[in-house]
Amino acid sequence: MRGNCSMPDTDWRSEEAYSGLKKAEAADLAWEWLRRDRKYQEDYGRLSRRESSNPAPDQFRRKWGLSFSS
């Protein structure tokens, strides 16, 4: 993800543009929100540039709510 993210060409006022959301679960909506967050994009970009065998360290997952306890 890059900090310079372009917006989709869909009309946000169009009901058809959001028809897929009728079947979305809470986690789907949370991901759509998170992936558009500029600060998340920046953190992810820094993380992805690191050379590490662990793609998402615990600190990153906790910061962005990507860890769930069972």
User: Where are the chain's structural domains?
Assistant: 21-63
Ramachandran class of 14: left when φ > 0, alpha when ψ lies in -120 to 50, beta otherwise: beta
Stretch 8-25: mean pLDDT: 78
Residues of the chain above pLDDT 70, percent: 73
Q: How far is C-alpha 70 from the chain's CA centre? A: 22
At 34, the pLDDT band (50, 70, 90 cuts) reads very high
Give pLDDT, residue 23. 87
| Beta carbons within 10 angstroms of residue 45's beta carbon | 12
Q: Is the dihedral of CA 34, 5, 40, 50 positive or negative?
A: positive
